[in-house]
Amino acid sequence: MRNLGKLKGYTVFVTGASRGIGKAIALKVAKDGANVVIAAKTTKPHPKLEGTIFTAAKEIEDAGGTALPCIVDVRYDEQVQSAIDQAVDHFGGIDILVNNASAISWTKTPATSMKTYDLMHQIVGRGTFMCSKLCLPHLIQSNINGKEPHILNITPPMKIEPAHLSKNSAYTVAKYTASMYTIGMAHEFKDHGIAVNALWPRGAIWTAAIENLLGAHRKPECRSTEIVSDASYAILTRSPAKCSGNFFYDDDVLTEEGITDLSRYDMS
């Protein structure tokens, strides 16, 4: 893949980085020489979901990277601000924000409790907005310092398809909220030299959360988290002046990078 080593010395703030896609992205940029802020709420092992901010930090350090684990529930302003302050004190700034934290409930309207609805919208929609807002001064400074700052939202392209929306409208609309911020902030932050893009997997990605939702028998139908982390890296090493306001699918990004054989990502 092109641009290897380009993120050396960058500080990357990744929400939801204790496991799954977030951890894969954290590991990818760390191996490239970036400092990684692991911003997630899991400090003790979950009975069904492997990984904590501390185990993720160890994996990053074992891979040769530098990690700062921070206890963050993106629903709470003070926790996000505290983690940002720690990152700036520890690494000197923030150059990239990856809004990955999410809550998933693939349920139709009658089966979606208002507690679950609020959780999804607070984490995905509000969390994306708040993390972007609070990181913004440091991303502006990153550009002033001669770096190429990015915000990457793990959210889907906006396609208003009734059949799709009807399957799990509360979850999809929560994700679309963050997608709309991608469009608005890309335009708003353009003059500051900050890229804002969105990335979404073409198919299902095999994580512990997906296993709990779909069952272990669905694993052969999925791809590994590395397809998203490789695509993320490709986006984050592009020039903000030439790459902002886009909705990408992971396989399209890799094809653009010259990677046409995606069998390496199959879980079968």
| pLDDT tens digits, 180-231 | 999 999 999 999 999 999 999 998 888 877 887 778 888 888 999 999 999 9
Contact 200, 211 (CB under 8 A): no
Q: What is the mean pLDDT of residues 94-123?
A: 96
How far CA 188 is from CA of 87, 154, 166, 191, 240, in Å, comes to 24, 19, 32, 7, 13
Query: What is the reported pLDDT for 80?
Result: 98
pTM for the predicted model, two decimal places:
0.95
- pLDDT of 1 above 70: no
What domains appear along the chain, each with residue ranges and CATH number?
Answer: 11-265 (3.40.50.720)
Q: Which residues are part of the catalytic machinery?
A: 171
Task: At 188, list the tokens.
Answer: 């708003």
Phi-psi region of 259 (alpha: psi -120 to 50; beta: other; left: phi over 0): beta
pLDDT tens readout for residues 6-58: 999 999 999 999 999 999 999 999 999 999 999 999 888 777 677 899 999 99
